[in-house]
């Protein structure tokens, strides 16, 4: 840092010291064999159990607590401030490091919700294994007759004396076939009103009463499952939050989900669209280059807005409604990038398989198809717009004259 003669603010000095600490730790602990091989959250989520240097990296970052940098040290987290976490993220990006503990929904959804509503015993039991990446969680929300109208869910959970007995079906359960635990919304009082009588249960997936059936998508992937519960059991302390008050728990989890999606990598690759266009000789297409430039500007604006939202939210008790705006923004940027990637590749961006197409080209096509789901999962774009209109803009439920 240049010496201007002016005193340097303590926060700046602290930030520079932490930057040096983070850089040194990453240099010493991130395996060289993994450098230059970026992985996005989807690839990590769908991966099986890691081996070799991938396992070593997961163990190292988990033991450090930097897989969940801002979580309390009491539960294995990093205990960092939001500013330090941003510095860490930038240092990881600089050397191509990534978080190997993002498999499943533990870090992004279940863990934060347990910290919001869990007992001390639940936090001690479930949070440290999530930090270390040792367990994989899924979320049991949607049912065949309860999608956007989630409160219509019917999966039953009955008090069986010394345990809970669970029967019913969930659908679109991401990663259920790979998961160790499921955080599920269940109906504990069928006689109550639709939004009442719902509870949130922590269910062990390794039992005879749980069956998963992967659903193959048009992209060729199978990240979703049908999940069947037949006399599945959960101990009495598996209830998260209050009995029959699970709707509030479920809504908070969705807020955490949307907050995690607002900062998702745009496209999952480090190669810029401009470099891609040059590589495919598409720089003479003025319209395409203009669209690529607009996408880069939108991505930059989204990133800056996200940083401002994080700064403004410092000290708040939990995520508010801003993630609904940022979730739609992230979706728009990522889907536009996927479209532009195929456009830059020309005919090579139309391949599904075969020797005439590279791995990058076929991945681009499959990623473009899978990316269409971003407008739906985590709450559809229409639902986010409703939240924005009612909770942020204060618009009425209905327009006059309806």
Catalogue the active-site residues: 257
Q: Distance between CA 361 and CA 271 in Å, rounded?
A: 13
DSSP state string for 188-240: S-TTS-TTSSEEEEEEESSSTTEEEEEE--TTS---EEEEEEEEEEEEGGGEE
- Specify whether the CB–CB gap between 393 and 383 falls below 8 A: no
Quote the CA–CA distance of 390 and 240 in Å, as a whole number. Answer: 28
Contact 276, 285 (CB under 8 A): no
| Pairing verdict, β 181-187 and 137-140 | parallel
Q: What is 51-96 written as a DSSP string?
A: -HHHHHHHHHHHHHTTTSTTS-GGGT-----HHHHHHHHHHHHHHT
**Of the candidates 148, 146, 149, which has an alpha carbon nearest to the alpha carbon of residue 168?**
146
Helices marked H in 99-180 — which ranges?
111-117, 120-131
For residues 107 and 101, the answer to whether their CB atoms sit within 8 Å is: yes
The DSSP call for residue 306 is H
Q: How far apart are CA 308 and CA 312, in angstroms?
A: 6
Which H or E run contains 305? helix 286-312
Measure the CA–CA gap between 104 and 133, rounded to whole angstroms: 9
């Amino acid at each position: 840092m240049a010496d201007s003669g002016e005193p340097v603010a303590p926060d700046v000095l602290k930030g520079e010291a932490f930057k040096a600490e983070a850089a040194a730790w990453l240099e010493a602990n991130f395996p060289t064999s993994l450098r230059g091989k970026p992985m996005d959250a989807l690839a990590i989520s769908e991966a099986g159990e890691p081996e070799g240097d991938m396992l070593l990296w997961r163990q190292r970052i988990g033991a450090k607590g930097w897989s969940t940098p801002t979580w309390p040290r009491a539960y294995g987290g990093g205990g960092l401030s939001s500013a330090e976490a941003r510095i860490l993220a930038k240092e990881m990006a600089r050397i191509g490091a990534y978080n190997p503990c993002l498999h499943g929904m533990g870090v992004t959804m279940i863990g934060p919700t347990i910290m919001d509503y869990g007992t001390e015993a639940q936090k001690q039991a479930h949070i440290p294994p999530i930090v270390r990446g040792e367990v994989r969680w899924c979320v049991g929300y949607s049912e065949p007759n309860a999608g956007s109208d989630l409160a219509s869910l019917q999966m039953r959970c009955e008090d069986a004396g010394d345990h809970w007995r669970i029967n019913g079906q969930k659908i679109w359960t991401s990663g259920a076939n790979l998961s160790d635990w499921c955080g599920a919304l269940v109906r504990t009082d069928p006689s109550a009103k639709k939004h009442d009588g719902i509870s949130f249960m922590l269910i062990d997936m390794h039992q005879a009463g749980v069956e998963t059936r992967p659903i193959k998508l048009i992209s060729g992937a199978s990240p979703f499952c049908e999940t069947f519960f037949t006399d599945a059991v959960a101990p009495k302390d598996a209830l998260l939050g209050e009995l029959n008050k699970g709707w509030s728990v479920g809504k908070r989890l969705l807020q955490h989900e949307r907050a995690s999606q607002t900062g998702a990598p745009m496209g999952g690759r480090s190669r810029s669209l401009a470099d891609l266009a040059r590589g495919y000789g598409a720089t003479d297409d003025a319209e395409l280059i203009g669209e690529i430039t607009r996408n880069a500007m939108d991505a930059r604006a989204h990133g800056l807005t996200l940083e401002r939202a994080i700064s403004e939210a410092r000290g708040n008790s939990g995520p508010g409604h801003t993630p609904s705006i940022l979730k739609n923004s992230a979706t728009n940027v990522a889907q536009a990038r996927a479209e532009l990637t195929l456009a830059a590749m020309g005919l090579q961006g139309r391949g599904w398989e075969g020797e005439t197409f590279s791995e990058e080209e076929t991945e681009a096509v499959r990623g473009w198809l899978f990316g269409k789901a971003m407008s739906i999962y985590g709450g559809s774009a229409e639902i986010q717009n409703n939240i924005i209109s009612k909770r942020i803009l204060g618009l009425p439920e209905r327009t006059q004259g309806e």
